[in-house]
Amino acid sequence: MKGKIIFKEEQSFVGTWMWYLVIGIAFFSVGGTIVGLYFTQDKEGIIGLIIAALVTGAVIALLFTSKLYISIDQNNLYYRYPPFVSTEKIISKDDVKEIYVRKYKPIREYGGWGYRLRLRSGRALNVSGNMGLQLVTKNNKRILLGTQKPEALKHAVRRLKENWGLDG
């Protein structure tokens, strides 16, 4: 059961530059499909346009439903990132070797934003920006949770580390 929440953040792709890029691509994809259906009798071309419109629609639905939730109480950190991590994950003192807020390079370290997995840098769950909460677990797994509130998160992590009896 969660205690008193000392930090809470919810992030979404809606309103980010990526959202506008996908909407722009969707406009041309769907528009191309409509024009293709109206002016062409080429069934292969029409099928290709329909597939492109369906894929674009699926990407829009994925971006619309993807949200990163992070919360911290006195003893634990909680996160989820539906639809990729639909059940809430709990990080406790027993799980963590290191925890700190840092600046990172999303494209260079993780290949971009979203739910990312890289052998060298570990897993990243981020929406935008270049600030995140870096976790290193006791079994040396690396997890980075992106944040738009780095100063508030630093304060919450400092309090959490004090409660855990960790240095710094």
What value does the mean pLDDT of the chain take?
87
User: Does residue 55 sit in the same domain as residue 89?
Assistant: no
Q: Which residues contact 57 (CB under 8 A, 6 or more apart)?
A: 26
Is the domain of 37 the same as that of 116?
no
- Residue 4, domain member (yes or no): no
Closest CA to 1 of 108, 110, 87, 74: 74
Using CA atoms, how far residue 146 sits from 4, 69, 103, 107, 156, in Å, is 22, 10, 10, 13, 15
Note whether 93 and 131 are same-domain residues: yes
Dump pLDDT digits (tens) for 33-47.
677 777 766 666 667
Domain-embedded: residue 140: yes
Beta-sheet pairing, 96-103 with 85-91:
unpaired
pLDDT digits (tens, 9 = 90+) for 50-69: 787 788 888 888 878 889 99
Domain count within the chain: 2
**Any domain includes 5:** no
The answer to whether residue 60 sits within a structural domain is: yes
- Check whether residue 95 and residue 43 sit in a common domain: no
Does 136 reside within a domain?
yes
Q: Are residues 51 and 82 in the same domain?
A: no
pTM of the model: 0.80
Residues 60, 90 within the same domain: no
Closest CA to 163 of 79, 99, 83: 99
Please provide residue 89's backbone torsions phi and psi, each rounded to the nearest 5 degrees: -95, 140
Domain shared by 39 and 93, yes or no = no
Range of the domain at 150: 74-164
Backbone angles phi, psi at 37, to 5 degrees: -65, -35
* Each residue's pLDDT tens digit, 136-148: 999 999 999 999 9
